[in-house]
Amino acid sequence: MKPVSLVFFCMFSVSSLGFSSDIITLPNYELLSWTPHFSDLPGECVDSDGLPVEIERLNPDTSCDTFELDYTMENQMLVMESHNRSDDVWMGLSRWYGGLNAHQSYEMCLDLTFFSDARTGGVGIGGSPDAVHLKFGAAHGDLKFDSTFSGTDTIYFDDQVFDKGNQASVGSDVVYLGQISTEVSDGCFKNFCPKQVSACIPVVADDEGRVNAVLGSDSGFEGVTKLFYKEIEVSFR
């Protein structure tokens, strides 16, 4: 498997991202509670010649933009971007949810709104740009980075493998949300257009009444993928 170049911030914080403290008043501050992770990335948080993961303010009048946008959008979005050089890049987010009954079974449900510039059937390297597959599930413990696990598309939470499957295949710990392809609509900015997906998966709360939710994209496209996550809403039934 060829190496992949990726960069991400180890921790999200208002100060490290250059935002003022009033960010907490925005509706999507909850996005900051998600922790990014990648497969095919060395265990340490290291810089490389890859692309960043960051909270990006969608406002052309601020210094937080990474590229020029056509118009101002009110809310913040969580931006994940990578260059898939190995044909197996996973860009993931995880977050603990508490307040549940220990060892009780639940349906964990996701309502997701994201923006993508991939279109169905586009021409790309090693596959179409929309050959990136979204998955949602639950992990067994905390995310564990270890240099002995680098260079693979396997993700570990504590000492257990997170079975996400591979690309379009679905592992036992996730449900399939579909590809990242979007349609051109009035809600697009630049070439990025919105899409909404929903799904539920059965989970069991741990000893402390918690579940570690995991959301991610599994890439079969050997190029740059950039996703804007606008809303990530998780509920338990």
Look at residue 191 and tell me if it is in a domain: yes
**Apex 151 CA angle, 147 and 157, nearest 5:** 60
CA distance 182 to 191: 10
CA distance 160 to 215: 17
Asked if pLDDT for residue 235 goes beyond 80, the answer is yes
pLDDT of residue 81: 77
Task: Band the pLDDT of 6: cuts 50, 70, 90.
Answer: very low
**Domain containing 192: what range?**
21-236
Count how many domains the chain has: 1
Look at residue 9 and tell me if it is in a domain: no
Look at residue 5 and tell me if it is in a domain: no
CA distance 155 to 216: 11
Look at residue 116 and tell me if it is in a domain: yes
Look at residue 183 and tell me if it is in a domain: yes
Tokens in use for 133? Answer: 């597959």
Q: At 198, which CATH number?
A: 2.60.120
When mean pLDDT is compared over 13-17, 25-29, 121-125, 165-169, the highest value belongs to: 165-169
Farthest-apart Cα atoms in the chain, separation: 49
CA distance 185 to 81: 22
pTM over cut 0.85: no
Mean pLDDT of 1-13: 32
Task: Check the CA dihedral 72-124-137-93 and report its sign.
Answer: negative
Look at residue 208 and tell me if it is in a domain: yes
Look at residue 14 and tell me if it is in a domain: no
Look at residue 12 and tell me if it is in a domain: no
Mean pLDDT of 94-107: 94
Asked if pLDDT for residue 237 goes beyond 70, the answer is yes
Give the type of residue at 38: F
Asked if pLDDT for residue 55 goes beyond 50, the answer is no
Query: Are 132 and 220 in contact, with CB atoms under 8 Å apart?
Result: yes
